[in-house]
Structure 1
Amino acid sequence: MKPFAVLLLVTLAVCKPTVYMIRHGEKPDDDGTGLSTQGQQRAQCLRSVFGASSQYNIGYILAQEYKSNGKRERPYDTVLPVATDLGLTVDTSCDRDDSKCVKKAVKNYSGSGNILICWEHNELTSIAEELGVDDAGDYPDDRFDLIWTLLPLMTLLHQRLLNSVLALIHKVKSDRFELIIHRKCIPCQKRRMWCW
């Protein structure tokens, strides 16, 4: 019975989605509502970053709840184009300051694909910590191009195992193969990765 229990736990862990967290697009210089022209361009660009032909396989999009007067609507406006392309509805059921609601939404997601969260940058740290990240740090005030990635623990373990196997294979291969392995292992500088 123990091997079955271990297999079940591994299967459940593998089924957890990867969570991608981004900041909303740029805001107008006058601090008005909505996105600036540059923010609107970024929202359109996200269609190619997270769209159907991307590697991200997004199946669920979560943006903070916005006010009827247009306040706090930037995260929704940022992900709406990609959501439309993917045929998804943006979930705006969580208040900006309610990281526990975000955690519950992530934990309750049972669909296929991964999760994209778009939020006000000052609250992304709270969300990451609520999802189990010990030292997320602050999302920089002047950056709009970062993707914080929370990998399921089993995905990371699988990647490390694969890298170990590839390193063993390297023992009988050329130095060029090792260089390729190391290049694939270096995370993009515009990403921070954790496990959950």
Structure 2
Amino acid sequence: MPATPRRITLIRHAEKPDEKNPEQLPHGMTENGEIQPTSLTVRGWQRAGGLAVVFGPPHDQPSPPHMRPTVLYAPAYPDGLTHRPTETITPLSRRLGLTIQAPVPKGAEAALVTEHLLGQADQDVLVCWEHHHLPAIAAALAGAVHVSASAPNATLWPDDDFSSALVYTRNGDGVYALAQVKVAVLDGD
């Protein structure tokens, strides 16, 4: 059996503006404070900073079930703009000195799993993606590796859930245990 990642964690991007009313508050904004509809809201940037603390504590490993990632993934976007998934893990990327990998666009989740994630032998992988496409990543993982259990959120990711994570942890037999956990970094999580 080929070596696969030790752990794969799936999270969705942080808070965003209301896409039906993008001119209403809260606005999406860039890291520099410029209004940008494809960016995170202020609360989203707060969550991004909190994720950097949870997954990248300066002196220790994160508290289980979290891990310090060695590889980061977000979707590729053809317009060249930075979008919410990348923004969400940018503070973590900086803290850990890791480059965010963006090899495939949303919609190519099966390719992400088979051509990229599973090739990360013995790595701790964190994937930040758009929530409507996270079930496709979970399905591709379930089809590619043996997963001992499934979590309710593997098939549906609620629109208002910004703090859940799906954590796949490989055991000594190469089987992955799947857990749905909260990454509680902000008030109300």
Separation in 2, partners of 1:62, 1:158? 19
TM-score (norm 1): 0.67
**In structure 1, the residue corresponding to 2:110 is in which secondary structure?**
helix
Instruction: Name stretches of at least 5 consecutive residues in structure 2 with no aligned partner.
Output: 23-36, 184-189
Runs of 4+ in structure 1 over 4 Å off: 155-159
Separation in 1, partners of 2:140, 2:52? 28
Q: Relative to structure 1, is the Cα distance of residues 157 and 107 closer, same or farther in structure 2, using a 3 angstrom cutoff?
A: closer
Separation in 2, partners of 1:156, 1:93? 25
Separation in 2, partners of 1:158, 1:77? 28
Asked which structure has the greater CA Rg, the reply is 1
Conserved 8 A contact 1:122-1:139: yes
Aligned to 1:16: 5
Separation in 1, partners of 2:72, 2:140? 18
Higher mean C-alpha displacement, 125-134 vs 18-27: 125-134
Higher mean C-alpha displacement, 17-26 vs 148-157: 148-157
The correspondence for 2:119, drawn from 98, 108, 127, is: 108
Instruction: Name the % identity.
Output: 29
Conserved 8 A contact 1:34-1:70: no
How many positions carry a matched residue from both structures? Answer: 151
Shift of 1:81: 0.7
Q: 1:36-73, CA deviations, whole angstroms, 9 ceiling, x for partnerless residues?
A: 000011101111111043240210000011242637x1
Instruction: Name stretches of at least 5 consecutive residues in structure 1 with no aligned partner.
Output: 1-8, 160-186, 192-196
Alignment partner of 1:190 is 2:182: yes
Aligned to 1:76: 86
Aligned to 1:150: 168
Separation in 2, partners of 1:158, 1:98? 22
Q: Relative to structure 1, is the Cα distance of residues 189 and 69 closer, same or farther in structure 2, using a 3 angstrom cutoff?
A: closer
Shift of 1:139: 1.0
Q: 1:51-98, CA deviations, whole angstroms, 9 ceiling, x for partnerless residues?
A: 043240210000011242637x10000001101111100001111110
**In structure 1, the residue corresponding to 2:133 is in which secondary structure?**
helix
Structure whose residues are more often helix by fraction: 1
Aligned to 1:43: 48
Q: What do you get for the CA RMSD once the two structures are aligned?
A: 2.8
TM-score (norm 2): 0.69
Tell me the amino acid that sits aligned with residue 81 of structure 1.
P
